[in-house]
């Protein structure tokens, strides 16, 4: 082949490959956009003030998901309070001291736990907490969400900490900083935005969980601020609406879904704002 | 002039791999000693034995003695944290912390609790940055990110950071290898200036640099110390044939 033919061939291949990857990117974005648009289209009609603050009422009498929003918020918050410190702590351990057999065991268990279907976590907490307490509770729901969170947060934290260059640690060690200080005020701040992203993803993940809550938090028709009692959540409420026989309920399911997606979006944006790199 | 650092019969291993062979060497107080030699000859490894930076490598092992001010720094009761405060280090690649310029320099002072109050801290930070010949360039932006500085400025910031904890010895591992000639010149002038107050050990690939800044030069090859002599003698009339071959560019 002449030089020019080679050149043209190369240009053609480059063009084809660029187009293919661009097409894949468009498809990925399009799926998300279609889902969001469809949810918006279906859900927006049923959203009004009453829907946001009222509790569920018998079919045909209106009602809303106020208690479910509050319940989801409480359980997600409590799950984060339990899950994030443990997950981040475990991740720090894995990254900084986890080179021995214990570290690789923890890593393996965490990876396995990530792959365990969430309903199994629900059954586990049901046996461990709900049965002894003799009733479902917001706490049991939070606990199962926290259990789902921990391995995800631990592994992302570990990855983010491992990305901090060795030279930065050595710089601090060379100044006479003890190991724990290097971890605490050099490595962690350097990895902070990555760790926050991992935490955010895990929060987004648990706010969409339904299965583990069915066994543990159950549901409630009322506003409930006590975590030792059954608690309503957006996801379980959506499940109830969606499996109901009436069109009005389906409408409400769409609307609640829209709220849930909106809240996850807000969490995403907030965390991104707070973890924007300062230096 | 007395010896600040005295190394006797040092062998160093990475696992079963011996990296340094029977090194004996004295580094005089308040002088610059340059370490030259081909890549992989153990210069950096040697430098990192002097502040026990190799401790971070689990499989590293050292025999023989390294004395600083007559005390064996590998003795079991040695406080490594105190040792590293006394023996500062500047790395090949500048490695500022993800903090402001001010906080980079203040870090070592803070963790070692050397300052009395905020004003004292300010003063120490300023002095360290001045000593690193960086003050005029950064005094108006002390609270901005250290990553906004140029490569040469970042390296001088790392020197300021090392000086801020008032070390007695400063180890420099090819501090100018990633810098342009002008930044390199600034670092070199700084090294010459610093030796009035500090003992300096500098690893360099650049033989002109060794000739320009150092009082004594040590030549390493394949983990062995081939020759140590006053720099002038080393570069004009070395004792060893190997040294001459290396310096004249016959290999390496």
pLDDT computed for residue B182 by the predictor: 86
What are B24-74's pLDDT values in tens digits? 999 999 999 999 999 888 999 999 999 999 988 889 999 999 999 999 999
Enumerate the H helices of chain A as residue ranges: 3-43, 49-53, 66-97, 101-115, 118-125, 131-133, 138-162, 166-173, 179-182, 188-207, 211-216, 234-243, 247-274
Q: What pLDDT sits at residue A266? A: 87
Domain A52-278 annotated CATH 1.10.3720.10: yes
Report the gap between the CA of A185 and the closest CA in chain B (Å).
9
Beta bridge partners of B65: B8
Q: Give A178's contacts in chain B (Cβ within 8 Å).
A: 81
- The answer to whether the Cβ–Cβ distance between B147 and A165 falls below 8 Å is no
A168/B contact by beta carbon, under 8 A: yes
Name, in order, each residue with C-beta under 8 angstroms of B29's C-beta and a sequence gap of 6 or more.
Answer: B1, B2, B3, B4, B199
- Angstrom CA distances, A159 to A65, A92, A219, A275, B70, stand at 38, 10, 37, 17, 43
The predicted pLDDT at position A26 comes to 97
Task: Look at phi and psi of residue B132 and say left if phi exceeds 0, alpha if psi is from -120 to 50, else beta.
Answer: alpha
pTM: 0.79
Report CB contact under 8 Å: A177, B111. Answer: yes
Q: Give domain limits for chain A.
A: 3-46, 52-278
**In this model, does residue B19 exceed pLDDT 90?**
yes
> Whose CA is closest to A207, among A30, A32, A61, A83?
A83
Q: What is the pLDDT of residues B174-224, one digit of tens each?
A: 888 878 888 888 889 989 989 999 999 999 988 889 999 999 999 999 999
HSE-CB of A174 using CA atoms within 13 angstroms:
31
Q: How far is CA A131 from CA A123, A135, A140, A216, A225, in A?
A: 10, 7, 10, 10, 21
Average pLDDT, chain A: 91
Beta-carbon contacts of A130 under 8 Å, excluding residues fewer than 6 positions away, are: A136, A137, A140, A215, A216
B61 CB neighbour count, 10 Å cutoff: 14
ipTM: 0.86
Alpha-carbon distance A158 to A152, whole Å? 10
Residues A19 and A51: their CA atoms lie apart, in Å, by 45
Which pLDDT score, from 0 to 100, does residue B186 have? 86
Low-confidence ranges of chain A (pLDDT < 70): 1, 276-279
Note whether A177 contacts B81, CB cutoff 8 Å. Answer: yes
Q: Provide the b/e sequence for B141-164 (b: ≥16 CB within 10 Å).
A: ebeebbeebeebbbbbbbbbbbbb
Query: Which of B98, B147, B158 is nearest residue A189 as measured by Cβ atoms?
Result: B98
- Closest partner residue to B84 among A169, A174, A279, by Cβ? A174
**DSSP 3-state of A85:** helix
Of all residues in chain A, the one with the smallest CA distance to B53 is A174
Cβ A175–B147 below 8 Å, yes or no?
no
* Separation of CA B225 from chain center: 18
Hey, are the CB atoms on B84 and A176 less than 8 Å from each other? yes
Nearest partner of A155 among A113, A117, A100, judged by Cα: A113
Which DSSP letter does residue A55 get?
P
3-state class of B251 per DSSP? coil
| B96–A171 C-beta distance less than 8 A | yes
Chain center to CA of A31: 20
């Amino acid at each position: 082949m002449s030089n020019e033919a080679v050149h043209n061939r190369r240009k053609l291949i480059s063009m084809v490959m660029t187009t293919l990857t661009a097409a894949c990117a468009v498809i990925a974005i399009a799926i998300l956009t279609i889902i969001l648009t469809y949810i918006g289209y279906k859900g927006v009609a049923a959203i009004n003030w009453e829907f946001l603050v009222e509790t569920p009422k018998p079919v045909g009498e209106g009602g809303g998901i106020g208690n479910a929003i509050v319940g989801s918020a409480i359980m997600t918050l409590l799950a984060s309070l339990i899950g994030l410190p443990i997950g981040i702590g475990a991740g720090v351990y894995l990254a900084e001291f986890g080179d021995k057999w214990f570290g690789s065991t923890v890593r393996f268990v965490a990876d396995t736990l990530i792959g365990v279907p969430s309903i199994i976590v629900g059954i586990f907490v049901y046996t461990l907490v709900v049965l002894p307490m003799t009733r479902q509770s917001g706490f049991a729901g939070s606990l199962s969400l926290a259990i789902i969170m921990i391995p995800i947060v631990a592994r992302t934290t570990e990855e983010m900490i491992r990305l901090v260059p060795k030279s930065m640690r050595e710089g601090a060690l060379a100044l006479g900083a003890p190991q724990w200080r290097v971890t605490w005020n050099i490595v962690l701040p350097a990895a902070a935005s990555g760790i926050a992203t991992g935490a955010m993803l895990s929060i987004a993940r648990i706010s969409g969980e339904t299965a583990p809550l069915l066994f543990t938090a159950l549901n409630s028709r009322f506003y409930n601020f006590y975590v030792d009692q059954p608690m309503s959540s957006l996801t379980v409420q959506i499940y109830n609406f969606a499996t109901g026989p009436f069109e009005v309920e389906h409408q409400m399911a769409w609307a609640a879904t829209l709220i849930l997606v909106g809240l996850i979006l807000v969490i995403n944006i907030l965390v991104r704002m707070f973890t924007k790199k300062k230096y | 002039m007395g010896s600040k650092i005295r190394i006797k019969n040092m062998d160093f291993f990475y696992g079963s791999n011996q990296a340094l062979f029977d090194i004996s060497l004295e580094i005089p107080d308040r002088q610059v000693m340059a370490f030259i030699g081909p890549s992989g000859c153990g210069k950096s490894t040697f430098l990192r034995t002097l502040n026990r930076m190799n401790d971070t490598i689990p499989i590293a092992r050292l025999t023989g003695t390294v004395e600083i001010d007559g005390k064996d720094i590998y003795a079991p009761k040695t406080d490594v944290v105190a040792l590293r405060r006394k023996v500062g280090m500047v790395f090949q690649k500048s490695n500022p912390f993800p903090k402001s310029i001010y906080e980079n320099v203040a870090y070592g002072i803070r963790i070692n609790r050397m300052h009395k109050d905020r004003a004292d801290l300010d003063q120490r930070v300023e002095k360290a940055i001045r000593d690193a010949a960086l003050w005029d360039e950064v005094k108006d932006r002390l609270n901005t990110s250290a990553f906004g500085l140029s490569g040469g400025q970042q390296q001088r910031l790392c020197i300021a950071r090392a000086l801020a904890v008032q070390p007695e010895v400063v180890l420099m591992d090819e501090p100018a290898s990633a810098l342009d000639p002008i930044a390199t010149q600034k670092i070199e002038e700084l090294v010459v200036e610093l030796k009035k107050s500090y003992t300096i050990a500098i690893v360099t690939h650049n033989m002109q640099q060794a000739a320009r800044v150092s009082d004594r030069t040590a030549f390493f090859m394949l983990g062995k110390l081939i020759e140590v002599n006053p720099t002038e003698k080393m570069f004009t009339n070395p004792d060893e044939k190997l040294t001459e071959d290396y310096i004249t560019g016959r290999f390496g």
